[in-house]
Structure 1
């Protein structure tokens, strides 16, 4: 299975500590990687079908000064679709004049929805088909731009239709909020004042968050498996959907 990483914060925040922990797992998940992060309404998206351990794009990302309120990253272990750039997560689409970014971990069986012209997959993964279907159904459900609460309600109605086809762990953001759905393995935590030191599980690296934050900062981190060994990660229940706004679950 692939590995997901999401971050939602109330102020632009450095994600490289968590991304380093994710990239360390690329020895097993070597079929591509990607990271998308919002800057106001714009999105910077870096993807490569090579492993995050070997990709020059990954090296660029590690030196890029990423500070964002919304981040989605993914390392791929292919189950459907060949190893190719067009099959590499995260995927991006436009809806209601905003960019949407999506990444998926899982395997959907016999999922072949009817898709109209506005949302069609470029690659051949179940993940991109699911994303296009979600965008299509959201567009059909709302005549105008809905607020976060309305979007969450609609997504909660759509998730079971995907979940019944197999494993559907996903991250989705439009720059205003981060939605996360757990089917099998997904974990989350919130970092807030008083901040303390944390150490990665898979890499000899630790950060004293108290030295790089203010008391007003708040950051939610979502990952397939806990990234750190000394923080209180909480597991999603099977079929659970959560939305994170300004670094906290709603």
Structure 2
């Protein structure tokens, strides 16, 4: 399956050596060679970069490693395809607009028989991951048509929809609207808190102590580099 890496920070920051380790897993130290991508959130602005090539073979990944960008929220993904072609439109993260915010999403897992009815958001590719993202945002838009609810209400609603999707299989994901980073675990996800930073990864990206495993079914929210719930 795929791997995830996320950063939530109180100040604009770069992934730095975390991304180096992560990118190496995209075809050199591990098998995730079916595409990669990264999203940088700065307020309402989101810069999204994706490539259908393996991270170790991607000139784009090499450029970002040489000249890392800074942001308060960063989502990165390396893909090992389970559903959908190896193609640019199937490379994570995916991005959509909701409540005047750009949301980005990356998924690790495999959802069997997941075919939600067409709704407000529709996939452009043919992965179960993008279908799940579109369904999640469609459900949030339907529940809160007048704008974003209070953070605790949003997190509770997101957890409900995530649990429903997870009945179809493995649904580990990271998601950001530029203000917070949300992370849901079905099987395998870890986080670590530093001074002003929260790092989330499928597998720890360094050997420093302090990585904490999510419990299956947990959805956590991080804001300004701290755990919010």
Of Structure 1 and Structure 2, the greater strand share is in 1
Which structure 2 segments of 5+ residues have no match? none
The match for 1:213 is none
Which structure 1 segments of 5+ residues have no match? 193-217
The match for 1:204 is none
3-state DSSP of counterpart to 1:119: coil
3-state DSSP of counterpart to 1:30: coil
Shift of 1:65: 3.7
**1:225 and 2:166 matched:** no
Higher Cα radius of gyration? 1
Counterpart mapping for 1:90-129 below 5 A: 90-116=93-119, 118-129=120-131
CA distance in 2, matches of 1:19, 1:231: 18
**1:75 and 2:78 matched:** yes
Q: 2:48 aligns with which of 45, 48, 71?
A: 45
The match for 2:162 is 159
CA distance in 1, matches of 2:136, 2:32: 26
Shift of 1:231: 2.2
Aligned residue pairs: how many? Answer: 224
**1:172 and 2:175 matched:** yes
What TM-score, normalized by structure 1, do the two folds share?
0.88
**1:139 and 2:141 matched:** yes
CA distance in 1, matches of 2:208, 2:10: 23
Runs ≥4 in structure 1, deviation > 3 angstroms? none
3-state DSSP of counterpart to 2:152: helix
Shift of 1:122: 0.4
CA distance in 1, matches of 2:66, 2:3: 22
The match for 2:62 is 59
Q: CA RMSD in A?
A: 0.9
